[in-house]
Structure formats: structure tokens, C-alpha cells
Amino acid sequence: MRVLICDCNSAIKLPKLDLGTDIEIEHYENMCKKRPEIAPDEKVVIAGCSPNLMEILFPNINAEFVNLYEHIVLLGHPMDKAKDLIVAAVEKMKAIIPVKPKVFNIENKSALIIGAGIAGIETASQLAQNGVNVNLIEKTPFLGGMVAKLDRLYPEGTPYSHTLMPQIGTMLQNKNIEYSFNSEVKDIKGQVGNYKINVQIRSRGVIECNNCGKCIDVCPVEVDDTGKKRKAIYYVPTYPNMHAIDFDTCTKCGECIKVCPGKIELDHKITEKEINAGAVVVATGLNLYDVSKVEEYGYHRLDGVMTTIEFERAVASGELKPKKVVIIHCVGSRDSKHLPYCSKICCFLGLKEAKLIKDRFPDTQVYIVAMDMRSYGTFEYFYNKLREQGVSFIKGKPSEVFKRNGNLVVRTEDLYTNELLEIEADTVVLSSGFVPDNPTFDKLGIKLNGDFPVLFENAGLGNTALPRGIFTAGSATFPSGVRDTLIDARKAAFSVLSLFQQERIETKQPNAQINDDLCSVCRMCIGTCPYNAISIVDDKIKVNEELCMGCGICSITCPSYASQLEGFNPKGLSNQIRTLIKKGDILALLCRWSAYNATDKAAYDKYSYPENVKIIRVPCSGAVDPSHVMLALLSGAKGILIGGCYPDACHYAKGNFRAKAREQMLKLNLDLLGFNKNIVRLEWIGKDEANKFVEIVKEMNLAAKGGEKR
């Protein structure tokens, strides 16, 4: 086995090591610049800086990383500790099973795009121009999505059609795009390179159409389509050039059939279709937050209170001519009871409506009430221009909207003068935050942070958090304006193209393996797996490799050590603990996703903790067995810290709950055996909580009187 040591431009000064004859030691000046060559199946120990960085440099090797820089050099600990860490890592590597590379063949080089808004259209045309076959599915009967509902786009103020129609025109030039309207994803199977997507298609109602529009004249059902009135049979001037029936409101009276020169079918059929694709782009876009939940502003309760898009459509179509308008910003946004985040684009939407009304009807008085105006970048010019046009800006958050003498009254405080203020108006516009339109996110296995997908595991954009072969584009990622959406769509198209350049992709994600000779089919692993990846096939335990995420919980649960995670197994951890822990040490077994990162941060934040704190990185706090804790106690540890993610933030869904259950059981046993049960602690330590980690280990160092019996 080889031990590779990075000297980090002589920042790490390791004394000469002697690890026995069968172990070679190699020094490298700087591994970031010059990487050693390592065969994929070779077991190595790499000592240098944090594994969080090293894993990005060496994605596909079998290695145990020893963190000399953050755990020794920056803290000022003596270098003798380094030898212990390296020897322990070597002992661990001797026992583990190497990670078998997972190979995915990119069999199908066509892409599925969910959502034909501006993001989906741009991605589809970029991909189709590069020769990729594209399936574009859309929930509504027409292309265009949210942009087709708008009147104009700012800051330039161009009509929406000047942006959207050229995009649609370019896309329609390509022959290799297949469109499905009125369709939604029902379920998805397979993996990257070979996804099978089941799509549910609702019938359109109109089968042959020459766009004469007679049906619209005779239809008796009138519907409010976000601020604009339309009939149950309707047309949006994008694509396809056919009318469509809204079956949610249609009464099936049959008037349209009588006048139609084409063909209309009024029975609502649902069919299913299977689409095969190698990659999926999620461009499902956004929705306005339901502002009727913000009860004090009276949406749905008071006439004249409307959302921004309703207002824009009503003004643009000439249905509404207001005299006095109040635009309230941050409705539901930055609010712990509604949306805790800032949706980034609603400030411009509010400003845009003010501009729209000032351009159309210059005599209308417009008030904008905002707690903070976030007009970043070039939008500041737009904000200045509106002030020149006479829009009054009030800083504050309105407490309520109510009716007095038939007028709407907005009550607020003007923060600039510290006075209470009431505005009477005929129209109140609520500029609300946005939520993703996400019925597909959980079907595709996309991990969410709040409402929106997590794109990367860390700020360094090292590991993508999205499932392989699945990409997001536009406002499905986060609410964004049309310009940002187009840029994001091109980025998604680029990602798909670079995936399709390869014939196969190889990754080294560890899987659990079952040793059938040892396995007694006790089924304990089946219950403990957070992903239901383990099942019984032909009276034998089988691990579904597609579902397994490599948490290692089953390998700890197995009473006969038959289940072993590649790259991490109970025996390896035992070896590591046995060689690492000396009398009086404190062992910290830290989850690689949260608590371990806190130790890195502790070093950079110039915290210091005692040098007898020895840190081992584990895949999950749930992958620590009570027997390991007992082993550490027998080796003389005076305190054991198990650090995991906060209860709702476990990377493996519920590993930390498993850890909690084990901790309680362990403490009972320790008490029975005569140990002080408080020397074992399970703590939730967040990624950035360096101070918490340092406080805990210092406390443990002071409090513990060693692992001796009472």
C-alpha cells in the first residue's frame, strides 16, 4: 500500500515516518498542481488537507484521506499526532472492500424537457440545433408558459411577443422535436442514459381547427384566467394554431360543435405514453404564491385587491382603468409564516406594473409600499426613472387593507417620517413572492432545500446534488427574470450536450454488498435501510444498486457483519479506532456531511481545541455501532463524541434518528456496565457550527475523568 503525502508547499512538515516494509511513503510538493497517478483499484492513504477538497481532486480512487492541514497544522498541534492518524488510516484501508466503479451506458441520446415555457423552449431549440432528438412536454394546451401571460418585459418595455415569438419560431424550424401538450409526468424509471418516463396526456377537445373563432363567440362559459376573461374554449396566440377546451370549466353544452367547421370531441380522454430519454431537463417554472393566505391584505375577500399578473393583464387588455393604485411589495416574501426567502424578481415586477400604469394612464396616482427596494444591478436606473415619473415610494410594511366608504384603505407606517399613514385607493396590487411549480420534483428524486432544488452539495460546486442525467433550467431552479432564464436554459442545454458526448459515465459511489456466506437472512437490514433498497430475492438478501446511496447504516445493523459498505465497514472502523485511540484521548466520530465540515471551519476560524481530540470521518452518524464506542472506551478514550446533522437535515433521510436510538440504548448498557454514561455524547452539529464543536470537545475534555470504571 502507498501513503501519499502532500507537503502543501512545505506548510506541512512531517517528520520521517517508518510504517513497516510493505508500505511505501511518497511526498508530493503540491497535489493541487501535480496529482500522483493512482490506479482505480489501488488502495492508498492520502495525507494532506481536508477530504472535502481532496475528494474533488481525486473523485475515482479508493483512498482514506488524512487531514493534516486543518486538524494539525492550522491548530498548532504537534506533528506526532500525524503519525497516529496515518497508521490508523493504513489499518483501516487494509480491511475495507474497494469501491466497484458504477458504469452507466448512455444508450439513449435523446432528451426529455418538462415544461414549454421560455426556459423549455430555449433548451429544446439549443439541443435540437445540435442534433439531439428532443421530447417537449407541456402541462397546458399552448406553448409559452408564464411569459405568454405577461404583457411586456422590462427594463426595456418590449412586448412579450418580441421575446417569445422569435424563440418559438427558431424552435419550430427544427424537425427533431416532438411536442406533447396537455401532458404531465406520471412516473419515471431507469437511470442516466436510459430513463423511461410515463406521460399522461389529456385530450385537447379540438381536433381539426382553422382558427375561425366562431366557437369562442357561442361558448356560454366565461372564466377568469389570471385577470383576463376568456371562454371555456380558448386560444393563446403562440403554438399550436388550434383552439383548446378547458375541461375543468366546460359544461359540455355542445354549442361549439354546432358552429365549428372543423372537428370537436367533448369527451375528455386520458391516454398514457412512454417516452425514452437519456437525460431530463426540468423547466417547470414558477407560480405566484397564494396571497389569499396573507389574510390581512384581503385577497379574494375585497374587490380591487389583485396580484401583479392579474393587474398587468387587466390593465393591458383595457378592462381596468384605475385612478389610484397602491402596490404592496414583499407580500408573503421574507416572512417566516409564508416564504422565508426573497424571491429576487418581485421588486421588478412591482416596479414594472407601476411603469405600465404610468405609461398607459399618466394621471393615475401610484404608491409603492415596500419595506426594502431591492433593485440590484441595472434595475437601479429603472427605479430612478419611476421616481421621475412621479411614483410615490413609501418605506414600510402595511398592516392591513380594508374597505371604508367603498374605497380600499391601506394602513401603514411611513418609516421615513415615523408617522402612521393611510392611503385610499381603488386598486391594491399585491406583489407576492414565487413558489416553484413542482409536481415533478419528488418524482424525479430531486432533493429540496425548502421549496427549491439543491443543485450542489457545497459552495465549491464540487458535487452536483441533482440525480445523474437530470438538470434544471430557468425558474424551476429559483425565480428569475427572462434574461437570466435564457442564460440558465443555455447552461442546461450545454450540460445535456456534454453528457451526450460520452458513451458511458463511470462513477464511484459506494454501495452496500451482502456476503451470502455470512448472511442468515435475519432481515434486520431491510427495516433499517432509509431508501428501501434492500429486499429478498430467491431467499437471499439483495441490494438494489440504483437505490443504494451508501450511508452504511445496514453494515452497522447487520449482526453477522454480512452487509458491508464499499469503502467503509465495521472492521475497518474498528481497526482505525484501535490503532488511533490512546489513553486519555477523545474520539470524535463525525458525519462527513455536517459535523466534519465544522472541524475544517474551526481551523480556519482560528479556534483551538485540545490535541487529544482525534477525529474520524464517517459517512453518517447512523453508521456508528455501539461496539465501536465500547472499543474506544476499552482502548482508553475518556470521551466519545458522535456528531450528526440536525434532525431534519440528514443527508440520508433518517440516519441521525438511527444514531439517536442507538445512543439511548448504548447509554443504558454503559450504565449497567458501570461506566459513566455521560462520556458518550451525540450532538447535532451543523456545517458551519465550528464554535459548537469546539465548545463540546473542550467541555468533554474538562468533564470526563477517563473511561475508568466508577
The residue ranges that bind other proteins (CB under 8 A) are: 296, 330, 334-338, 371, 395-400, 411-413, 415, 418-420
Gyration radius from the chain CA atoms: 31
User: Which residues, 6+ apart, have CB-to-CB distance to 652 below 8 Å?
Assistant: 530, 531, 549, 551, 553, 619, 620, 622
Neighbouring residues of 487: CB distance < 8 A, sequence distance ≥ 6:
none
Q: Could you give phi then psi for residue 113, rounded to 5 degrees?
A: -115, 125
- In the complex, minimum distance from the CB of residue 417 to other proteins, in angstroms, rounded to a whole number: 11
CB of 392 to other proteins, least distance (A): 17
Half-sphere exposure of 571 (CA within 13 A, CB side): 12
Q: How far is the CB of 695 from other proteins (least distance, A)?
A: 18
Strands (E), 278-345: 279-282, 286-288, 305-307, 324-331
Residue 43 in 3-state DSSP?
A: strand
Shortest Cβ distance from residue 395 to other proteins (Å)?
8
Q: Of the two residues 215 and 328, which places its CB atom closer to other proteins in the complex?
A: 328
Q: Whose Cβ is closer to other proteins: residue 237's or residue 340's?
A: 340
Residue 683 — φ and ψ, nearest 5°?
-130, 145
Q: How far is the CB of 428 from other proteins (least distance, A)?
A: 15
The whole-angstrom distance between residue 12's C-alpha and the CA centroid of its chain comes to 37
Grid cell for residue 607: 479556534
CB of 103 or CB of 420, closer to other proteins: 420
Least separation, in Å, of the C-beta of 334 and other proteins?
6
Decide whether 292 or 464 has the Cβ nearer to other proteins.
Answer: 292
Give the shortest CB-411-to-other proteins separation in angstroms: 6
CB of 433 to other proteins, least distance (A): 11
Angstrom distance (rounded) from CA 321 to CA 253: 34
Smallest gap from residue 693 Cβ to other proteins (A): 23
Compute the least distance from the CB of residue 396 to other proteins, in Å. Answer: 5
Based on CB atoms, which residue is closest to other proteins, 334 or 692? 334
Residue 599, all three cell numbers: 472541524
Type of residue found at 579: T
Is residue 8 within 8 Å of residue 53, measured between CB atoms? no
Q: Which is nearer to other proteins, 330 or 598 (CB)?
A: 330
- The SS3 assignment for 257 reads helix
Is the Cβ of residue 6 or residue 328 nearer to other proteins in the bound state?
328
Q: Show Cβ contacts of residue 501 under 8 Å, excluding neighbours closer than 6 positions.
A: none
- Cell 496529482: give the residue: 35
Q: Is 422 helix (H, G, I), strand (E, B) or coil?
A: strand
- The secondary structure of the chain in percent helix, strand, coil, rounded to multiples of 5, reads 30, 25, 45
Residue 306 CB partners (closer than 8 Å, separation 6+):
227, 299, 314, 427, 428, 429, 430
Q: Cα–Cα distance between 626 and 254 in angstroms, integer?
A: 72
- CA separation, residue 96 to residues 67, 487, 556, 573, 593 (Å): 19, 45, 14, 9, 21
CB 335, min distance to other proteins, A = 4
Identity of the residue, 160 or 299, whose beta carbon is nearer to other proteins in the bound complex: 299
At closest approach, how far in Å is the CB of 452 from other proteins?
Answer: 20
- Given the complex with other proteins, which of 369 and 554 has the nearer CB atom? 369
Q: Taking Cα atoms as reference points, which of 683, 671, 682 lies closest to residue 710?
A: 671
- Asked if residues 547 and 532 have their Cβ atoms less than 8 Å apart, the reply is yes
CB 424 → other proteins: shortest distance, Å?
A: 16
Pick between residue 124 and residue 330 the one whose CB is nearest to other proteins.
Answer: 330
Going 372 to 373 to 377 to 381, the CA torsion angle's sign is: negative
**Quick one: 264 or 425, whose CB is closer to other proteins?**
425
CA-CA distance, 387 to 327, in Å (whole number)? 14
For other proteins, give the closer residue by CB, 410 or 525. Answer: 410
Q: What string of DSSP letters covers 158-222? A: EEHHHHHHHHHHHHHH-SSEEEE-SEEEEEEEEETTEEEEEEEEE--SEEE-----HHHHH---E
Taking the complex as a whole, how short is the minimal distance between the CB of residue 330 and other proteins, in angstroms? 8
CA distance 251 to 249: 6
- For 101, the 3-state DSSP assignment is coil
* Start-to-end CA span in the chain (Å): 42
The whole-angstrom separation of Cα 4 and Cα 49 is: 12
For other proteins, give the closer residue by CB, 360 or 397.
Answer: 397
Q: Is 80 or 414 the residue whose CB approaches other proteins more closely?
A: 414
